[in-house]
Amino acid sequence: MADSSNWAFPEELQPRQAELGYDLAGALDAVVGLRAEVPADAYTAGVLGTERAGNGIVIDATGVVLTIGYLVTEAETIWLTTNAGKVVPGHPIGYDQSTGFALVQALGRLDAPALPRGSAADVAVGDPVTVIGHGGGAHSLRAKILSKREFAGYWEYVLDEAIFTAPAHPQWGGSALVDARGRLIGVGSLLVEERVGRKAVQCNMVVPIDLLAPILDDMMTTGRARGAPRAWLGLYAGETKDHIVVGGLAKRGPAERAGLREGDAILEVAGAPVANLAGLFRRVWSLGPAGTEVPLTLQREGATLRVAIKSADRNAFLKKPKLH
């Protein structure tokens, strides 16, 4: 992994203590660098790579670090680095597929403060925020809330209301979104484009912190949220003007085993028409948990066909963390 520390935002884009009503230095130090190494034979290695780097956020005095799940999925080795240069190994203790949140336990003293949590409900479109990446003020960005809306990801993922901020932070994964009172209100997940009038604006999609509280205790004790896992089809879908189209298939996943192909258009789920990704995934999840049979109506090369997919638990395909 390349060294990413030799850059800085222009000073006019960096947060300034004089303009803030909280201890900026403490907030900056609560964000640590995170590097993960994943075995070459891991299920996600081909898509996400074997070396991953991003950020994590210290959320309590015991060294629990909150990050975004794709950074640590199937990780064999994790290293956490503070702004003071201290490097501590970490161990993944929880990953929630529905929200995208993951937890890592530092296996040594980080000597970094915990960032207090707030609520995404307390900020509105246009409000000023700070996006904090590991590396102090030079790697932190003054931004604004561009929008708050539903988000659907092609990997079978839906948020009822995600946060979108601009300008975009180039090292968004696991970054901290902090409100004007210095409270954590979200975790950076993606670089996307939002339409503002006729203009496309690059921005960060952020997972609201409000989704953490209901699942935090279960993630700490069992590694995942309580309840039966969601049905997973193992397909990557996208929206065209007229259809939802299969753009890829997870290897050995339920959709591949059922005979779906790239280019198939998905017309219906269990007899109900679906018009967008969020509608597709919610309809699948409404049928039952992992293991439920999901009937799809497809269009392939001008012909209509029906396929039944036995859904699965996505986590069953992933390597489990080992404590060395």
Give the pLDDT confidence score for residue 321 in this predicted structure: 77
Mean pLDDT of 137-155: 97
1-227 and 235-317 share one fold: no
Mean pLDDT of 12-16: 97
Mean pLDDT of 5-15: 93
Q: What is the residue-averaged pLDDT of the chain?
A: 95
**pTM of this structure:** 0.95
Mean pLDDT of 222-238: 95
State the Cα–Cα distance between residues 227 and 241, nearest whole angstrom. 36
Give the pLDDT confidence score for residue 157 in this predicted structure: 98
Of 96, 30, 46, nearest to 236 by C-alpha is 46
The distance of Cα 175 from the centroid of its chain, to the nearest Å, equals 11
With a cut of 80, say whether residue 1 has pLDDT above it. Answer: no
Whose tokens are 């001008």? That residue is: 302
Mean pLDDT of 4-25: 92
Q: CB atoms < 10 A from the CB of 14, how many?
A: 17
Q: Which CATH number fits domain 1-227: 2.40.10.120, 1.10.1200.10, 1.10.357.10, 3.40.50.300?
A: 2.40.10.120
With a cut of 90, say whether residue 128 has pLDDT above it. Answer: yes
CATH 3.30.230.80 fits 235-317, yes or no: no
Dump pLDDT digits (tens) for 50-62: 999 999 999 999 9
Mean pLDDT of 305-321: 94
246-265: string of b/e by CB count within 10 Å (b at 16+)? bebbbeebbbbebebeeebb
Give the pLDDT confidence score for residue 2 in this predicted structure: 39
The band of 315, judged by pLDDT with boundaries at 50, 70 and 90, is very high
The band of 3, judged by pLDDT with boundaries at 50, 70 and 90, is very low
Mean pLDDT of 160-181: 97
Mean pLDDT of 161-181: 97
Mean pLDDT of 133-158: 97
Mean pLDDT of 234-253: 95
With a cut of 90, say whether residue 309 has pLDDT above it. Answer: yes
The band of 4, judged by pLDDT with boundaries at 50, 70 and 90, is low
With a cut of 60, say whether residue 76 has pLDDT above it. Answer: yes
Helices and strands in the chain: count of H runs, count of E runs: 5, 18
Residue 11: φ, ψ to 5° = -55, -35
Dump pLDDT digits (tens) for 259-288: 999 999 999 999 999 999 999 999 999 999
The band of 242, judged by pLDDT with boundaries at 50, 70 and 90, is confident
With a cut of 80, say whether residue 106 has pLDDT above it. Answer: yes
The band of 324, judged by pLDDT with boundaries at 50, 70 and 90, is low
Mean pLDDT of 151-175: 97
State the Cα–Cα distance between residues 167 and 201, nearest whole angstrom. 8
Q: Where are the domains of the chain?
A: 1-227, 235-317
Give the pLDDT confidence score for residue 195 in this predicted structure: 84
